[in-house]
Structure 1
């Protein structure tokens, strides 16, 4: 029976010119994750990564600690939605990430402030009235993720590795879990906001059907250093 580990990438570079790059903290998180994999995985896993830089970097830092010979299979089906566009349609400041970062830094509760923006942006994106305004609409993103997950499950059901590890993003993981649990878009993206960087969500494959075993595991990060627990 195959166990699938869905990994959210390490902390990226919020407010920088390019978000799609691990921060120093993100590199540390991925390293700690790899050390945890070294303890819990008894053999080399089948490894997949999305096509984004933060996915590949998380995979590289993690695998360097446990399975040096593992080569990730790159599949852009595991890529995140265009969060900058989705947020910019709701709040134009997302077109200038450094300005948004300055505004966030002034808030008493930066995470709560961002959560409010996130909720509004996702609500607009998932509202059928605005689908035509986005490069990838909510229905297309949802279908892409669900199809990518099922294709992986079909492949693993044939090859039967003991473990599979997928390096991806929070939105993708949320949609996968939302599909398994039958969640609404609102509840799906409530999960998205809660999924920690470099956390694990675990699925068990029964035949070619995935079942949820765990969500958002991050105890190994807190055990190493509480400052490694981040969400943005």
Structure 2
């Protein structure tokens, strides 16, 4: 049996010109995750990370605090969908990060405001009659996540590590869980919105099958420093 940790990256820079870089808080989250892994993982894990900057930086900081000798296997299959593109197809103003930053700067609850946009934008993305408007369709994204899981399971079958850690994003993790549990698109979108920064979701790989063990664990952040818990 192999236990798989699917880690969402630390807080990125939502609304900034370069979303893909970790914020200062995101870096602190990644280091806190590394301290947790050092405490609970008994052996060096097999590590995979998406190719995006926020995936790689989260992995580097977490491993520096836990398993500095671990190799990071990079795969673009674990990259997040282009949320800015998906939002911009729903409302063209999202094509300019500065516009979103302006909208959010004075809001006390920016996550609530974004939720009102996120769900209809994702719903539109999943509609078959709109597929031609997207660089990567919803079905393509689901297929890519399945490829990522299949490739990971293949490597696990070869190397038989007791633990594997994957650094990715909330959208990828929610689709991976949806494929294990058979969730609908709407349930997947709702799950995506709940996955916090630097949280981990665990699966087990046993006899060629994946099973869900836990979802969106972030207790270690609350234990170490409660104000590190974020969703955006």
How far did 1:122 drift? 0.2
Deviates more, 1:211-220 or 1:146-155: 146-155
Matched, 1:131 2:138: no
SS in structure 1 opposite 2:216? Answer: strand
For 1:52 and 1:83, locate their aligned partners in 2 and report how far apart those are by CA, in whole Å: 13
- Cα RMSD of the aligned pairs, angstroms, is 0.9
- Whole-angstrom distance in 2 between the partners of 1:118 and 1:84: 11
The aligned residue for residue 196 of structure 2 is 196
Report the more deviating stretch, 92-101 or 135-144: 92-101
SS for the counterpart of 1:166 is: strand
- Where does structure 1 differ by over 6 angstroms across 4 or more consecutive aligned residues? none
What per-residue deviation string (whole Å, max 9, x for no partner) do you get for residues 163-184 of structure 1?
Answer: 0000000000000000111111
Q: How many Å separate the matches in 2 of 1:73 and 1:159?
A: 13
Q: Secondary structure at the match of 1:202?
A: strand
How many residues of Structure 1 are paired with residues of Structure 2 in the alignment?
Answer: 232
Aligned to 2:40: 40
Q: 156-165 or 23-32, which moves further after superposition?
A: 156-165
1:59 and 2:59 matched: yes
TM (normalized to structure 2)? 0.98
Supply the distance in 1 between the matched residues of 2:213 and 2:157 (Cα, whole angstroms): 17
Aligned residue for 2:119?
Answer: 119
SS in structure 2 of the partner of residue 204 of structure 1: strand
Q: Deviations over 1:175-228 (max 9, x none)?
A: 000011111111001000000000010001112211000000000111122211
Alpha-carbon distance in structure 1 between the residues aligned to 2:165 and 2:109: 34
Q: Residue 22 of structure 2 corresponds to which residue in structure 1? A: 22
Instruction: Map 1:180-219 to 2 at 5 A.
Output: 180-219=180-219
Show the counterpart of 1:5. 5
Per-residue deviation at 1:108? 4.3
- Asked whether the 8 Å contact 1:154–1:208 carries over to 2, the reply is no
SS in 1 for 2:51: coil
Distance 1:146 1:81 in 2: 14
TM-score, normalised to structure 1's length?
Answer: 0.98
Instruction: Output one character per residue of 1:81-105: Cα deviation in whole Å (capped at 9) or x when no partner.
Output: 0111000111222112122122123
* Unaligned 5+ runs, structure 2: none
2:108 and 2:26 map into 1 onto residues whose CA distance is 24
